[in-house]
Amino acid sequence: MTAWEDSVRDTARAVQQGASAVRLVEASLARIEATEPSLHAYLHVRGDGAQAEAAQLEQMGASARAALPLAGVTVAVKDNLVLKDAPTTAGSKILAGYVPPYTATAVARLQAAGAIVVGKTNLDEFAMGSSTEHSAYGPTKNPWDPTRVPGGSSGGSAAAVAAGTVVVALGSDTGGSVRQPAAFCGVVGLKPTYGRVSRYGLLAFASSLDQVGPMGRRVADVAQVFYVMAGRDPHDATSVDGPAGDPTPDAGGSLKGLRVGLVDSQRAAAGPEGQAALDQAARALTDRGAVVSSVDLPHSRYGIAAYYVVAPAEASSNLARYDGVRYGVRGEGRDLAEVYFNTRGEGFGTEVKRRILLGTFALAEGYYDAYYLKALKARTVLAQDYRAAFASVDVLLTPTVPEPAFRLGEKLDDPWAMYQSDVMTVGANLTGLPALSLPWGVTEGGLPTAVQLTAPWLEEARLFSTAAALEASRPHPWTGPGRKGRTGS
């Protein structure tokens, strides 16, 4: 047993039966040490803390360990989720040296279930980006090809899983920031229904869009982590309970009668290899008994424009709290106004400043109706499109991204081109729907391709059962970067 090859279920079962959690953590830390010089997936590694927690786990009685569904499972956590007594920077200089006094609910629930957090992962600053190149601490690189980006903003978490440093990882998804890097790095990524996972302890970017989501090499791994995290939290008024589901979805189950909607407009927006992957996945669903038909989301073309008004507007409000007075870095000044100006000017990076300015402009008197209110109307119309689609189908099938991972630096000077990476994913955030990215094959150039499944509110169980059946039907099982011959099944 290693730090990454075994599933969540097999890892937990082995530790419950007496396997060494300490050795698992040591293997994870060794893998991190071997890959970090080339990938830079982590901002902080909890060597001593993780080993101490593993030792405590081993000292538990057998019955106590047996009650822990994630016993010994190694986890990496995106560095915008707070962890008590560990640095949390959100990839920004403005939070350099900040150590929070509490742990995010999603992380705490994993720890209570026996999981061991080995480190905090790199991200675009305050989760604003699609490539993890906007981190103040340097970019993360894609394990499949270090000349390419891992996606963003949860690129560090996706790279950590793909590189085999942990079994699973947590990210946050505001416009696709779990699913897009999952697609670029060839792993499974889930954006849950808005409210299914508590946002308490997640540093806010856009509060009506943000959601914590898991990544893993298998659908079942992601499902098990999700069901441990999900549920109402008194610390988060937007959190909800949802229907229970099977944490180990049946990969061999029939999909007879399942109605799948293939979104033609989004298929057309993908490149040739993305279209081929989508068509192949549709055939696999048909072979399992599903009925695949074409559907339309006629206003989806407004999704990116609406998102890049709503999200920056909320960010301009949320990030006002970083002023150098209460926590984080403090700029010097002759008076309070100058302290604010210098703190934010020196602490925030270019992309964060760009989005704060965009959001402040959209909310300004005289522009609110023209931009922000219009974006909210577009959001409502898009939600109506999804409701209409789900009246005739059970699941939507689309590409996750319009193209495979692009090269480092390729889009840094063209923000609009960078924003287009989210064109397939923002719809689920604007409408609050659950969506999952599933790896599906490899391009001729050796990069992962992926497909995306979207379901109605609170229907994560439907996503998992459909994705697990698709996963079992893949013509080329997951091998991971540089691991030809190994499969993820």
Residues with a catalytic annotation lie at 78, 153, 177
162 within 8 A of 148, measured Cβ to Cβ: no
CA gap 332, 137 in Å, rounded: 22
Please state whether 326 falls in left (phi above 0), alpha (psi between -120 and 50) or beta: alpha
Q: Which residues make beta-bridge pairs with 148?
A: 407
Question: DSSP string of 358-370?
Answer: HHHHHHSTTTIII
346 within 8 A of 93, measured Cβ to Cβ: yes
CA gap 284, 239 in Å, rounded: 35
CA gap 369, 110 in Å, rounded: 43
128 within 8 A of 351, measured Cβ to Cβ: yes
Query: Which tokens is 132 given?
Result: 């993890």
CA gap 227, 83 in Å, rounded: 20
CA gap 243, 232 in Å, rounded: 12
428 within 8 A of 256, measured Cβ to Cβ: no
H or E segment to which residue 84 belongs: none
21 within 8 A of 72, measured Cβ to Cβ: yes
CA gap 372, 362 in Å, rounded: 6
382 CB-near residues (< 8 Å, 6+ apart):
297, 299, 300, 302, 303, 306, 427, 430, 431
120 within 8 A of 87, measured Cβ to Cβ: yes
* Rounded CA Rg of the chain: 21
CA gap 75, 467 in Å, rounded: 22
H or E segment to which residue 41 belongs: none
First to last CA, the chain: 15
Tokens 């560090």 belong to residue: 156
> Comparing C-alpha atoms, which of 159, 113, 136 is closest to residue 12?
113
